[in-house]
Amino acid sequence: MLTAVLAGFFVSILLIPFGKYLKNRLSVLLVLLPALLFGYFAGFIPAVSAGNPVYSHHAWVPSAGINLDFHLDGLSLLFCLLITGIGTLVYIYAVAYMKGHPYLDRFFAYLSIFMAAMLGVVLSDNVLLLFIFWELTSISSFFLIGFNNDNADSRKSSITALAITAGGGFLLMAGLILAGYLSDTHSIREMILSNAILKSHSLYGLVLLLVFAGAFTKSAQFPFHFWLPGAMKAPTPVSAYLHSATMVKAGIYLLARLFPVLGGTDYWTVPLVIIGGCTMLLGAIISIFKKDLKEILAYSTISALGVLVFLIGVGTEAALTAAAVFILVHALYKATLFLVTGIIDHETQTRDISQLSGLRKLMLPVAIAGALAALSSAGIPLTLGFIGKDLIYEATLHTKLNFLFILTAIAVITNIFLVSAGFLAGIKPFTGSLPERLSGVHLPHWFMWMPPLILAFLGILFGSFPGWVGTSVLQPAAAAITNNTAGSPLKIWHGFNLVLLLSAVTIVSGTLLYLFKKTTAASSYPLLSAISAEKTFKRMGDYVKGFSTWYSNTMHNGFLRSYLLRIIIFAVLLLAYRVINGEPLEISLARISTISIYEIVVAGILIAAVYMTVTSTSRLTAVVGTSVIGYCICLMFVFYSAPDLAMTQFTIDTLTLVLFVFVLFRLPPFLNFANSKVRLRDGIVSTSFGVLIGIIALQALNEPIQTDISKFYGENAYTMAKGRNVVNVILVDFRGMDTMFEIVVLSIAALGVFSLINLRLKSSEKE
Amino acid sequence: MEILLLILIALLYSTGIYMLLRRSMVKLLIGLGLLGNGVNILIFLLGSITKGKPPVIDDKASLFRDIYADPIPQALILTAIVISFGLQAFAIVLLKRVYVLVNSDDLDDLNTPEEEDI
């Protein structure tokens, strides 16, 4: 199973070297990938429908609890079949749709990565693994939305989509880690066993909030829905595949998968029902006011996703069965409609429904596919949509929730609008008379019209004979959500009851709405655009950008000294906090040695030299001042038993002085740039830093000294290294390697000095 | 004596930082030198300081017979002195180069050479 999940990644890697050979008709070979995977997963149908889920375990990072654990149960199988099945058709379609595109190989590579990641999401049993695949779907979606990367709108939409979905993914990660921490496992199966602990924990609400944030952003729920219409900038096969049939359902999948872990409480039900209800209503209403075919489909997809969230929120067995059925229903008809739209767009170069009509005369198979999908979307009897709709109404009518009437009403209104939207997208472009402008349009290659036709026929086939698909795929899926094995068989006919009446009302009103609604301009619903979350997010983005610009300009102003100043102020604050809150200051007299008059004299000279160096206006005086400081330190070393240091310091100081004087002799005197205020500020900062260092050094003096290492050197300097000067022995023997590298550093510095001195610039390089 | 050294350390750190914050490149270099000296004394102080007992073993003996100054800080400081000389020498020459090119000792003149072309 690991190979099956990762196959897409392998293929996309292989496309890097071999992609250029596949740009012509050979790209058909790529269809083999989803087709084989579909066959592979279809082979599991008997086992899974018999109630025997398949597990596979590979250790990956066992120490962090991240393992390649895959778990194929009914719900996963439903999604796997959708992903690979629709994937196969979309690949076939894309071969023709993208024909001749210069980046065909890149397109299929992204698509394969996406497919693999999506399979990973629905198969992972480990929540952290699930998160990794989850983010991979966001990333591949980002690349696919921005596939036409020479188009500014495309780029912007892809960034918006990534920002929303990855932002949600980030919160989801927090939620999953928290859930894993509370239940002490990263396996979803084990979490189900300990769901009572999770639900009674005080952090349960937070886990829910974070998981909802991930699911809502991914599945385009209000108020995060706006990235989905923007994502329609992607090539149409991508819209059909990612943004309608599979990826956006990852959020639904997550909610369904976690239902046995987290679901069933009021904290679960109320937010999902409210958000799902808002989303399905808004999406459906907005969709019929749109004129662009893809936008109609985008908003009706948002609405359908809302329906699914709503159903999972209601959470009764009927509702969850309805959700499982509706996932399949929606994938079948919406993918068909998208593919049909893609054909129309590809052949006529327009997606404006007010300009499209009569296309049935030119592309009959496409018209049939569109009409069948529209009928399924409307829920006409004998389509799978009819069964789905029935189940939804049954679910809302039989909930134990208080607002039964309102919920059912919302569902009915949503469906009325969806019926109308489906007709707009699937039927309207094909009816009426053919305008002159479109008479040159012809039927595309059968690679393009066959996939939607197959999907549409499947919708009818499953609708007319629901028995097989019901027992072998949909009921196991519903059983996996509810975590028990029960499930009632799907029926075409439920008898004359309230549900049927509601269905009839829906279809009739939807059809009437379609027939009598004039195509209104998009601006005629100010109320809906006023609550558009898109603007809010845009404004937030602007604020963030403004803040970062301000921050960069203040903090990164390009002046070395202001960087230094900030670093030092920060260090001062940090150290001061520590010193003030640390142990009280005390001077241990035990370690203080006596002081003699010549030491005081040397220190006095040193202080005077420092004063001279800092205040002098002459460069030479300042340099001489530093040398005096160096010689004073040299004397200190002499007093305190460090003859080697004294010699080195003496030599180095002399050399530095000579170098300074030779090189800088001709430079002008210091210019006094700073005003007294700046100097006062710098003075305060540097003095407080110096004082703090002094205090810390004083505290360090109170610490006991470790002399083990010194003793080792003292005892072994002669016995082992035959040297009497211990400092020398340490440098050239015990730490000889370090000294050698020090010599290397000095040689490099010497080379630098030498080449800088000998560098002769061409006149053009001089200013 | 330790207290005196502490005062010197604080003084060298303060003036070193103060000089680093100046606009002049030469002052920057001097500040670097002062700071380096302060660090050296700090290291020196943190090993216990001992008067008149250099860590050199007497002739004819193979071990210390008396107390002796801690050799480790001395070895560290020796390295530090030499390395900081390398740094200073390179910086001085670089500074000279910059002065020849830009004809200024002002760090701010290095910030925006492009703008001057416009």
> What domains lie within chain B, and their CATH numbers?
2-51+68-112 (1.10.287.3510)
Nearest to A187 by CA among A74, A76, A71: A71
Residue of A633, A689, A706, A737 to mutate, interface with B, max B Cβ within 10 Å: A633
Percent of chain A at pLDDT > 70 equals 92
CB A245 within 8 A of CB A137: no
Asked if B104 is an interface residue toward chain A (Cβ–Cβ < 8 A), one would say no
Neighbours of A197 (CB within 10 A): 13
> Residue A25 — very low, low, confident or very high, per pLDDT cuts 50/70/90?
low
Asked if B52 is an interface residue toward chain A (Cβ–Cβ < 8 A), one would say yes
Q: Which of A31-35, A201-205, B37-41 has the highest mean pLDDT?
A: B37-41
Q: Rounded CA gap, A112 and A33, in Å?
A: 8
Q: Rounded CA gap, A127 and A118, in Å?
A: 14
pLDDT tens string A365-377? 888 888 888 888 8
pLDDT tens string A423-461? 888 888 888 777 777 777 777 878 888 888 888 888 888
Neighbours of A745 (CB within 10 A): 13
Rounded to the nearest integer, the mean pLDDT of chain A is 84
User: Which residues, other chains included, contact B58 with Cβ-Cβ below 8 Å and sequence gap of 6+?
Assistant: A724, B65
Residue of B43, B70, B103 to mutate, interface with A, max A Cβ within 10 Å: B70
Q: Of the candidates A561, A603, A668, which has its C-beta nearest B4's C-beta?
A: A603
> Residue A55 — very low, low, confident or very high, per pLDDT cuts 50/70/90?
confident
Range B109-117 average pLDDT? 54
Chain B residue numbers with beta carbons less than 8 Å from the beta carbon of A626 are 30, 33-34
Taking the CA of residue B1 and the nearest CA in chain A, the distance in Å comes to 5
- Put simply, the answer to whether A663 touches B3 (Cβ < 8 Å) is no
Residue of A629, A637, A725, A748 to mutate, interface with B, max B Cβ within 10 Å: A629
pLDDT tens string A98-137? 887 888 888 888 989 999 999 999 999 888 899 999 999 9
Q: Rounded CA gap, A541 and A543, in Å?
A: 5
Q: What is the model's pLDDT at position A160?
A: 85
Q: What is the model's pLDDT at position B118?
A: 39
Q: Of the candidates A622, A667, A698, which has its C-beta nearest B30's C-beta?
A: A622
Q: What is the model's pLDDT at position A763?
A: 57
- Put simply, the answer to whether B95 touches A664 (Cβ < 8 Å) is yes
> Residue A670 — very low, low, confident or very high, per pLDDT cuts 50/70/90?
low
C-alpha distances in Å from residue A183, one per residue of A19, A59, A64, A172, A179: 46, 21, 15, 16, 6
Residue type, A726: V
- Put simply, the answer to whether B8 touches A606 (Cβ < 8 Å) is yes
Taking the CA of residue B31 and the nearest CA in chain A, the distance in Å comes to 9
Taking the CA of residue B60 and the nearest CA in chain A, the distance in Å comes to 10
> Residue A64 — very low, low, confident or very high, per pLDDT cuts 50/70/90?
confident
Asked if B35 is an interface residue toward chain A (Cβ–Cβ < 8 A), one would say no
Q: Rounded CA gap, A341 and A351, in Å?
A: 7
Q: Rounded CA gap, A379 and A503, in Å?
A: 8
Taking the CA of residue B81 and the nearest CA in chain A, the distance in Å comes to 7
Q: Which of A33-37, A104-108, A401-405 has the lowest mean pLDDT?
A: A401-405
- How far is CA A282 from its chain centroid? 26
Residue of B7, B22, B116 to mutate, interface with A, max A Cβ within 10 Å: B22
DSSP of A185-207: -SBHHHHHHTHHHHHHSTTHHHH
What tokens appear for A666 in the block? 């001709």
Asked if B108 is an interface residue toward chain A (Cβ–Cβ < 8 A), one would say yes
Length of chain B as a residue count: 118
Sign of CA dihedral A611, A615, A621, A626: positive
Given a cut of 50, is residue B117 above it in pLDDT? Answer: no
Range A587-599 average pLDDT? 75
What tokens appear for A603 in the block? 């220190």
CB B34 within 8 A of CB B70: no
What tokens appear for A543 in the block? 């604020």
Asked if B24 is an interface residue toward chain A (Cβ–Cβ < 8 A), one would say yes
Q: What is the model's pLDDT at position A401?
A: 60
- Put simply, the answer to whether B63 touches A715 (Cβ < 8 Å) is yes
DSSP annotation of B110 reads: G
pLDDT tens string A217-271? 988 888 888 888 888 888 888 888 888 888 889 999 999 988 888 887 888 888 8
pLDDT tens string A273-330? 889 988 888 888 888 888 888 888 888 899 999 999 998 888 888 888 888 888 888 8
Please calculate the CA angle A315-A319-A323 and round it to the nearest 5 degrees.
Answer: 105
Domain locations in chain A?
A: 266-524, 597-672, 708-767
Q: Which of A48-62, A395-409, A626-640 has the lowest mean pLDDT?
A: A395-409
- Put simply, the answer to whether B27 touches A670 (Cβ < 8 Å) is yes
Asked if B6 is an interface residue toward chain A (Cβ–Cβ < 8 A), one would say yes
- Put simply, the answer to whether A640 touches B50 (Cβ < 8 Å) is yes
Chain B residue numbers with beta carbons less than 8 Å from the beta carbon of A677 are none
Chain B residue numbers with beta carbons less than 8 Å from the beta carbon of A693 are 9-10, 13, 38, 42
Chain A residue numbers with beta carbons less than 8 Å from the beta carbon of B115 are none
Nearest to A262 by CA among A325, A212, A326: A212
Q: What is the model's pLDDT at position A591?
A: 66
Q: What is the model's pLDDT at position A712?
A: 86
Look up tokens 């939804």; give the residue: A392
H or E element, residue A72: strand A66-72
Model pTM greater than 0.80? no
CB A314 within 8 A of CB A394: no
Phi first, then psi: give them for residue A91, nearest 5 degrees. -60, -45
Q: What is the model's pLDDT at position A117?
A: 92
Q: Of the candidates A593, A606, A668, which has its C-beta nearest B105's C-beta?
A: A668
Q: Rounded CA gap, A30 and A96, in Å?
A: 12
Q: How many CB pairs under 8 A join A and B?
A: 276
Taking the CA of residue B66 and the nearest CA in chain A, the distance in Å comes to 11
CB A689 within 8 A of CB A571: yes
Taking the CA of residue B115 and the nearest CA in chain A, the distance in Å comes to 13
> Residue A590 — very low, low, confident or very high, per pLDDT cuts 50/70/90?
low
Q: Rounded CA gap, A241 and A107, in Å?
A: 13
Neighbours of A364 (CB within 10 A): 13
- How far is CA A569 from its chain centroid? 36
Break chain A down into helix, strand, coil percent, rounded to 5.
75, 5, 20
Neighbours of A55 (CB within 10 A): 12
CB A674 within 8 A of CB B22: yes
Taking the CA of residue A290 and the nearest CA in chain B, the distance in Å comes to 51
- Put simply, the answer to whether B93 touches A757 (Cβ < 8 Å) is yes
- Put simply, the answer to whether A691 touches B10 (Cβ < 8 Å) is yes
- Put simply, the answer to whether A561 touches B23 (Cβ < 8 Å) is yes
Asked if B34 is an interface residue toward chain A (Cβ–Cβ < 8 A), one would say yes
